[in-house]
Structure 1
């Protein structure tokens, strides 16, 4: 629909009202990202100044968040993680339509912590990856994996979800996972990596996953920025 250009209501308010209704109707789900300023200009055939006034109005109303260099998003839009679905952390971001990427922090062979020797033996692989949404850190994943996983090349480990990596290397499917969720203060190294302030309390998801033949596939901790993440529980289990 075009704007009414002789309407006494300023055009930027008409645009703000149009976008407001679309936000309420869920037009910009699942990622919450609104069109760019240029796209809104083209849609309504107005100047950039008019578009910016409309977005400023929505910002004042608390409906949007404007992130420098990243775009405009529905305010309070959170990533959702379906905890009763057997899906890797990265996959849960991708299926919601987010621009999700990973960055390797560390991939190496280590001595297995004593509490986990029964799961992995004397040696295991440590894989740390920073999970990003729209190039913004949202979580740090720290996974202990079978020792053979330390042989992964970095490019592959940065692009593929954990469960896919495990299936490729071990030749077995992930059949089950135990998950615990809590909150705690974390060391400065972790808060710095995900862009949180010192002494911030983060959500922590602990996950132990098992292959279909019963052996342990991974033990992971995910340190998550709570303002951007929500855990949900459905009534169906899917793999």
Structure 2
């Protein structure tokens, strides 16, 4: 709907109302991120000051959330990680139609942490530790640390950077991950994690600990994901079995 220069309503009010209607219609799903001020200014043929006033009006009404250096989002929109299906972290983002990417921060052979038990192919107690940053619309959303069989270190760095852990395991072994045990906790951002995610040290984070297994019972992946909670939610849709009744 075009703006009316003859309308008694100020342009910023007209823009705010149009954006409100689009948000309510789900135009900015699934992430809820709106275009930049420059893009909105070009769309409506107005100055960035006018756009900024329109966005401020919606933010004051609780319709939008504006994050310095991150962008503008429809309030309350979260990335939703379904627990009903077994997917790698990156694949769960792609499955929602999000503009998701991974950035490899480090890759090294390290001693397998004793608390993680046994890992398939971890000769002499060594494993491959991958530290990768997960982003949605260019914004850091999680830092993942994957402890994987050391044979994966022979893969090309470009493939390690871009491929989800489960895809790499399938390529290496010809086997698919059959099950995973997940634990979801709350933790605080340590300095290195805080820097990577762009949050303050000590900020509350979601921690997802994951152990993945082949069908023969061998553990093939031990991972920890440090997740910004304000835009991330874990969801599960349980149903009662046909012969069961609620307690």
TM-score when normalising by structure 1 = 0.87
Question: Per the alignment, in what secondary structure is the counterpart of residue 205 of structure 1?
Answer: strand
Contact 1:102–1:129 under 8 Å retained in 2: yes
Matched, 1:34 2:20: no
For residue 198 of structure 1, the aligned residue among 198, 201, 217 is 201
Mapped contact 1:126–1:150 kept (Cα < 8 A): no
Indicate the SS of the match to 2:178: strand
Equivalent residue runs for 1:138-149 within 5 Å: 138-149=141-152
Closer, same or farther: CA 52–201 of 1 in aligned 2, 3 Å: closer
**Is the Cα contact below 8 Å between 2:81 and 2:233 reproduced in 1?**
yes
Are 2:242 and 1:209 aligned? no
> Would you say the 8 A contact 1:174–1:209 is kept in 2?
yes
Q: Which runs of 5+ in 1 are unaligned?
A: none
For 1:39-65, what per-residue CA distance to the aligned partner results, in whole angstroms no more than 9, with x for missing partners?
Answer: 544554545443333222222223223
Q: Does 1:156 align with 2:159?
A: yes
Aligned position for 1:58: 58
Distance in 1 between the 2:228 and 2:81 partners? Answer: 13
CA contact (8 A) 2:180 2:211 kept: yes
1:83 aligns with 2:56: no
Q: Is the 8 A contact 1:70 1:134 kept in 2?
A: no
In structure 1, distance between residues paired with 2:236 and 2:107? 32
Give the alignment's Cα RMSD to 1 decimal: 2.3
Change in Cα spacing, 1:12 to 1:200, as seen in structure 2 (3 Å) is closer
Partner of 2:226 in structure 1? 223
* Structure 1 residues 156-189: Cα deviation after superposition (integer angstroms, max 9, x where no partner): 1111111111111121111111111011235322
CA apart distance, 1:219: 0.8
- Residue equivalent to 1:17: 17
Closer, same or farther: CA 137–39 of 1 in aligned 2, 3 Å: closer
Task: Report the 3-state secondary structure (helix = DSSP H, G, I; strand = E; otherwise coil) of the residue aligned with 1:217.
Answer: strand
How many residues end up aligned between the 2 structures?
A: 236
Report the counterpart of residue 245 of structure 2 in structure 1. Answer: none
Query: Hey, what's the Cα distance between the residues in 1 that align with 2:194 and 2:205?
Result: 8
What's the secondary structure of 1:150's corresponding residue? helix
Could you tell me how far apart the structure 2 residues matched to 1:70 and 1:183 are? 23
**2:136 aligned partner:** 133
Q: Please list every run of 5 or more consecutive structure 2 residues that lacks an aligned counterpart in the other structure.
A: 240-247
Q: Which residue of 1 aligns with 2:127?
A: 124
